[in-house]
Amino acid sequence: MSITVPLFGTMPNELTMTESEFNAAWYAALGNLNPYGSALNALGAQVEQYALDAEAAVAALPNAMWVSGTFADGDVRWSPTDHQDYRNKGSGSRTTDPALDPANWVPRIRTGNGGADTTSSAVDITLTSSSGRLQIIAMTAAGKKVIMPAASTLTKGTPVFVLKNAGTYRVSVHKNGGGFICYLLPGQVIALHCSDTGSSAGVWQASGAPVPDIYTGSNAEVLNAVDSRFVAVAMLGATQAICAFRNESTTYLNAVVLNYGSSSGSPAQVVADACKDISIAAQTGSQATVVYKKSTGETKAVVLDITTSTTFTPGTAKQIDATTGGSGTAVCAQSSTQLLAVYQGSSGTTPKMRVLDIVSSAVNESAEVAADGTNCAATHMRAGKVSSTKAVVAFRNNSGNRVQLRLQTITGSTPAPSGSVLDLSGMPGTSPALQFGLVVMSTTRAVVVTAVDRTYADLMISLVDISGSSPVLLRNKLIRVGANGSLDLDAAKLDANNLYATWTGGGSLGTDGMKIKITDDDQIIAGEIAEKIEEKIEASNNRVACAALDSAHVIEVCRNKDTYLSVKTVEIAA
């Protein structure tokens, strides 16, 4: 019950009162002193009692050291590892130290960990939930990792882990379970926290400038011991792809099933044709179609049925065009039974196309149609599906190697060009005569990534509107990637806003790669360059190819430093 201290009433004031009023006010004020003092004494006694009651209430709390057992909702215990108080959430058995069990215990007072840990190691370092402080790390061997704690042992958003690389090797940072987060470069400091603790891996956020987001530390799988050229690859599923290439020893078309997370198959001959200019697309998760040129220029197609996780069975190779002398092919799958094949009919002439209908493992080609009236440069062409009845064809012209784009419609089994051709005339200087990348991001956007004259830049990224009947250039972005000369390039879609580009001919003298983001307001954001994904790769046509398995994993195939066929899975942070 609260105590009310009495007021004095009217106080004496000689300026406003008569003598009699002044004296009366003094007598009244003096009469109130004793009740006022009594009220103050009672108030002090009440405050003292409240303090005693609070001490008794705190003493009554069962704030003992935690031991494994059953607890009621609201029970308080202190952790034997960090000596902080924790309040139990809900009721039930609690067998994990409260400091390591944020799902069931909440700190009564949130405090920072503070301090720093300094670690020098030749092996991977695994952090725990109590490592949320400055971690100064110096690895003494290459290819080592820092593994973050299980997200399920953390509270969302806390703690913040600050990592500094005090060594001379770069260090990769991974989620619990192995997922790649970023690289920590020598001398770099980054901060990480977990924004989703609903799984052991969690969702991590990293900040630092720059934060490399492409993991290149996985080992390459060398698939043969023979010179391999005209490399092409297509995704079959989340862990599998199919690669086609020319065996330079026999000059015949070969293929191999590629696996992520398990061993790939063995390369095998597809057909005894001396071949070149190979392209491939998968129409289903167990079937792909290869389009290639014979050494004399005729164009052929063959279906590959993937029969096991490591083997395939080729169908009968079908000659789809008998014209000799041309170079270059491209193919894209429009549906599970239909593809669009593009090729140069004869040397120096326009790009041609046919619809390929697949019946079982047989190829039925449509009549030939010119994809565009522009004469094209040899070898360099791409095709991409926009919808089941629409595609985009890209090729270099033969008067300057500038990339041209033309949309195509498909009615039944008949292809036809639509609208007008888009000439990427903004390409500066002299464009190199090497392969480029084409990625269809959605039914309204496509991206072309190509090398340009390095006097002006190294790469040009072009964003194109493909929503209508004619492609429309939205913008270009020119960037430097440290090229020594011309770049041989490929690209793959990761998701609706991100793609991956890889190339040979950069300053690392191997294959380099980059994630490129396309924002919803049509901005182009180039990521950090990952260098030397594979080392010492020749910068020549069709030496590297890539296919995305999902938004975080890309199968990259190349003719390696020994000229052999090599595959590596590149992991890309979300």
- Specify which residues 228 forms β-bridges with: 247
Amino acid letter, 95? T
Distance separating alpha carbons of residues 90 and 77, to the nearest angstrom = 14
For the segment 182-220, what is each residue's pLDDT rounded down to a tens digit?
999 999 999 999 999 999 999 999 988 788 899 999 899
For the segment 464-509, what is each residue's pLDDT rounded down to a tens digit?
999 999 999 999 999 998 887 788 999 999 999 999 999 998 888 8
Tell how far CA 291 is from the center of its chain. 30
Going by pLDDT thresholds of 50, 70 and 90, the confidence category of residue 233 is very high
164 and 134 Cβ atoms separated by less than 8 Å: yes
Q: For 290, what's the count of Cα atoms within 13 Å in the CB-facing half-sphere?
A: 36
User: Does an H or E element contain 532, and which?
Assistant: strand 524-534
Distance separating alpha carbons of residues 565 and 551, to the nearest angstrom = 24
Sequence-separated (6 or more) residues with CB below 8 Å from residue 246: 228, 229, 230, 252, 253, 254, 275, 276, 278
Residue 546 has pLDDT above 70, yes or no: yes
Selection from 231, 261, 354 nearest residue 549 by Cα: 261
Residue 6 has pLDDT above 80, yes or no: no
392 and 408 Cβ atoms separated by less than 8 Å: yes
Distance separating alpha carbons of residues 394 and 328, to the nearest angstrom = 12
Residue 434 has pLDDT above 80, yes or no: yes
Of 7 and 163, which is predicted with more confidence? 163
* DSSP letters spanning 552-568: TEEEEEEE-TTS-EEEE
- Mean of pLDDT over the chain: 91
233 and 546 Cβ atoms separated by less than 8 Å: yes
Of 273 and 133, which is predicted with more confidence? 273
Selection from 535, 543, 548 nearest residue 565 by Cα: 543
Cα distances (Å, whole numbers) of residue 470 to 168, 394, 521 = 52, 13, 20
Cα distances (Å, whole numbers) of residue 307 to 284, 285, 286, 314, 449 = 13, 11, 7, 10, 34
pLDDT at residue 61, as a whole number = 60
Distance separating alpha carbons of residues 500 and 511, to the nearest angstrom = 13
276 and 295 Cβ atoms separated by less than 8 Å: yes
For the segment 24-44, what is each residue's pLDDT rounded down to a tens digit?
888 887 777 788 778 778 888
pLDDT at residue 118, as a whole number = 85
- Specify which residues 331 forms β-bridges with: 341
Question: In this structure, what are the phi and psi dihedrals at residue 248, rounded to the nearest 5 degrees?
Answer: -70, -20
- Specify which residues 342 forms β-bridges with: 330, 353
Selection from 306, 358, 363, 298 nearest residue 325 by Cα: 298
Provide long-range contacts, Cβ within 8 A and 24+ apart, for 119-126: 120/167
In the structure, how many helices (H) and strands (E) does the chain have? 1, 46
Selection from 168, 111, 113 nearest residue 144 by Cα: 168
Percent of the chain scored above 70 by pLDDT?
Answer: 98
| Domains of the chain, CATH where assigned | 116-212 (2.60.120), 215-572 (2.120.10.10)
Distance separating alpha carbons of residues 191 and 206, to the nearest angstrom = 6
For the segment 522-532, what is each residue's pLDDT rounded down to a tens digit?
999 999 999 99
pTM: 0.80
Mean predicted confidence (pLDDT) in 315-339 = 96
* 386-233-452-532 Cα dihedral, nearest 10 degrees: 140
